[in-house]
Every structure is written in structure tokens, then in C-alpha cells.
Amino acid sequence: MTSRPISAFAAEEERRVLSLKPVLAPVHGRYGDHPHQSYDAWPSEGPEAPLVILLHGGYWRYDRMHLTPFADWLSTQGFNVLLPGFRRSGGAGGHPETFDDIARIVDTLPEGRPYVLAGHCSGGHLALWCAARGLLPPASRWYTRTLPTSVLALAPITDLTATRRDRLSDDAALQLLGGEEHFTARLPEVDPLTLLRGTGTTGVPTVLLHGAADEEVPLTQFSDYAAVHQDLRTVVLPGTGHYTLIEPGAPGARAVADTLRDMAAVHFPADAGRADEEAAHR
């Protein structure tokens, strides 16, 4: 998905992971009428399995099929996994449709349950944006006080201005926001780094996990975001690239699963639902 020169290591990692055969989910559903407003679900065994909503990458252009092997693998690690689609730039989406769909996903699909909102690459950008929706002006169409329980951003795009400057993936940020003529006006409502400035926190427990050998998203995006987000937790994996994080069974993916377990244990322990139910019947 890159348009920049990369090493043989990074090229092999990208080829290996993106060539994995898609996995058919056991459950499918819809959250809207548009064909892209659908989701795949991998229920895990056991009623106490934490819920993870995954937002796929692909620079806001590509579909979710490349993430189905990882979603399927996560379900074997003890998670209930939802992998939604959404309208994408270059087609039916972009601004505002992509953001409308992401807002609708997180406002409806959890059905009141605690969950980790996780996203990879541009999906990480969308996850971080969801955490920052409470910082939007109340008049914004995307403002809400109902935020994700917690967010895990995997090798995320955090800064749309830098993404535009570096022309990542053939000007994907410009395409997302509708071109040069709209970029500056639309940026403040949809850029995680811009929204954080002035507050320093979203109030949502957030972890940023990335590989130290990532050649797809410049490492400055991670360090610049961490410098602004005052209560961010960061996990850096030495010798790890961009795509190994979503490669089933790879060390990077195992680190993602371990991080998700840690987040689930801290932010919604397995007995929390039982305790609430018991309290309701007292």
C-alpha cells in the first residue's frame, strides 16, 4: 500500500501479510442500508470474552478483507471480534461519509457493552478520532459524550497534515478530505493530533502500539502524537514492521493480543457484567 521506497524486509512483510487468503466470518450483520454498512463477526467461546471492534486500514480506500485472517485469529485468542466495513474514499465515502459510518459503528454496534476499539494504520486514525469526538464542538455532527471504553491504535496515522506533507499512499489524506480546496477547512474536526492540542487528553484510555521498523507510517507520527497526548500508553516492538502486527500468530500479533488482554482486564474485568447484574437484582 506504500508509494515510497521501502527495504526488502518491509516489502516481503507487506507481500506476505497482504497475500493471506481472506477468512469467511461465521456471522454477518448490517448497521445501515448502504452495501458498505455491514460487518463480520467472530464470536469467541465463553460469555465473558471481551469485545473488540476492529477498524481496518488501507488509507481509507481499501476494503476489510485483508484483515479477516487477523480477526479470525484474534477470536481464537479469546476475543469476540467485530470487523465492520464503511464507505471509503475514492468511491462512496471520504468526507463526510466515512466519518458518518465510523460514528454510527461505535454508537450502535457495541450495544451498550464495554469494548476495545482497535484500528490498524488508517483504521488507527479513525479509532483515535473516535476517542476524540468529545473534544469536538457541540454543534458538530460527530460530537458525542458516549466514547469507546478504550482504544488500541496499531501503527496508526495520527497526523493528517503530516500525511499530506509526506504524500503517503499517493495523497490519500487529500483524497479523504476532498482535495486541496477542502483540506484546511475540514482538518480540525477529523485530525486526532489537532483535536488533542489544548486539552492533551481525550479522557479515553488509549494505547499506541507500533513496530520500531515500521516503514509505512513515518515514526515521527507516533512520537509527535505521544508528545501531545499526556496520558497515552505506548508500546514499541523492536525489529517489527507495519504489517506483522496483523499477521496471525506472528510475534507482533501476539503482542497485540497480549495488550488487548491487559486492556480488557483493567478497563472491564470479566466479572464486571455479573456484578452489575447481581446489583440490579438486589
pLDDT tens per residue, range 42-60: 998 776 899 999 999 999 9
Within-domain flag for 242? yes
Q: Please report whether residue 203 resides in a domain.
A: yes
* Helix axes 68-76 and 251-267, enclosed angle (nearest 10): 60
* Whole-number Å distance between alpha carbons of 220 and 175: 22
Flag whether pLDDT at 201 surpasses 80: yes
Q: Is residue 73 part of a domain?
A: yes
Lowest-confidence region among 62-71, 255-264, 270-279: 270-279
**pLDDT bracket for residue 272 (50, 70, 90):** very low
Question: Which residue type, as a one-letter code, is found at position 267?
Answer: H
User: Which residues fall within 8 angstroms of residue 159, CB to CB, at 6 or more apart?
Assistant: 191, 192, 193, 221, 224, 225
26 pLDDT above the threshold of 70: yes
Structural domains in the chain (count): 1
Domain that holds residue 260: 8-264
In a domain, 148, yes or no: yes
Check pLDDT > 60 for residue 72. Answer: yes
In a domain, 45, yes or no: yes
pLDDT digit string, tens, across residues 140-195: 999 999 999 999 999 999 999 999 999 999 999 999 999 999 999 999 999 999 99
What band does 80 get if pLDDT is binned at 50, 70 and 90?
very high
pLDDT digits (tens, 9 = 90+) for 96-145: 999 999 999 999 999 999 999 999 999 999 999 999 999 999 999 999 99
Give me the mean pLDDT over the 242-268 stretch: 96
Domain assignment present for 271: no
What is the reported pTM? Answer: 0.94
- pLDDT value, residue 45: 75
pLDDT attached to residue 273: 44
Q: Which residues pair with 54 in a beta bridge?
A: 118
Residue 269 within any structural domain of the chain: no
Domain assignment of residue 224, yes or no: yes
pLDDT number for residue 270: 57
The average confidence (pLDDT) of the chain is 93
The CATH number of whichever domain residue 41 belongs to comes to: 3.40.50.1820
Q: What percent of the chain has pLDDT over 90?
A: 90
